[in-house]
Each structure stands twice: as C-alpha cells, then as structure tokens.
Amino acid sequence: MEKNPCGGYECSSQPKTDSEFSLAGQAAGLHESEFIIPKMDCPSEERLIKFALSELRDVYFLQFDLPRGRLSVFHVGEIDPIASRLFSFGLGASLIKTTIADQERLDTALLANTAEDQK
C-alpha cells in the first residue's frame, strides 16, 4: 500500500499506562531515540508516522515537535525497525541519539502530550 505523506490517516496513539512505563523502564530498558525530520511540518505527516509506528509493539510513546521537525520515540529493544520505517517516508529523517529513557523526561513528555490533547 502506497502512503501519501499528506494523506488523511487516522490512528490511535494511546500511550501505555504509568505503571506500564515504569515497569518497562525498569525491566526491559526503556529508551528514548531522538530524530530530526526536516520535512515533517504538518499534522498529516504526524498522523502518517503515528500510524506506521503504531504497528510496532516495542514503541511505547511518541512525542512530536512539529515546529522544530523533531520526534522522540520511547521504545524498548533496537531502534533499527523504527528508524527504517521513518527513513522510508522520504521526509529526511535522521537519528540524533538514543539514550536510556529518564523517568523525569518521560513524565514531562506525557504531561505535554496530555495538555496538547486537551486543546
């Protein structure tokens, strides 16, 4: 199926519960990978990425910064399957870094996402 970067994908990007994050971070090694995606500048591209990554069970949470063209992916396991999907869209994605997820950083991202959803 061909995907249009500005197509109207609808998807659910429900984050895991706080207890699932805490358990994942401690038991399975939750990571945060930061990407710069210069051509990701509209909500349609955000929806496309959410849809594509929602199929990967190791992705726990996504944090988008459209004005800066940045994406943080909170995940367990290797970054390769996630990065491959992001690279395949032709949006100029590049991996900046992958680190062990900090609980405080995760809490901040969850709060920002909750506030954005309530707008």
For the stretch 3-31, pLDDT in tens is 333 333 233 344 444 444 444 444 458 89
CA dist 47 and 9 (Å) reads 6
User: For 49-53, what is the mean pLDDT?
Assistant: 94
- Position 37 scores a pLDDT of 97
DSSP class per residue in 7-59:
S------PPPPHHHHHHIIIII--EEEEEE-TT--SHHHHHHHHHHHHT-TTE
By residue range, what is the domain housing residue 42?
22-109
pLDDT band at 103 (very low <50, low <70, confident <90, very high): confident
Task: Tell whether the model's pLDDT for residue 97 goes beyond 70.
Answer: yes
What pLDDT is recorded for position 92? 96
Residue 114 within a domain: no
> Residue 31: which CATH number?
3.30.70.100
Q: With respect to residue 44, please indicate whether it lies within any of the assigned structural domains.
A: yes
Average pLDDT, the chain: 78
| Percentage of the chain lying above the pLDDT 70 cut | 72
Structural domain count, the chain: 1
- Residue 95 located in a structural domain: yes
- Residue 58 falls inside a structural domain: yes
Residue 116 lies in a domain: no
- Any domain includes 13: no
* 8 Å CB contact between 9 and 104: no
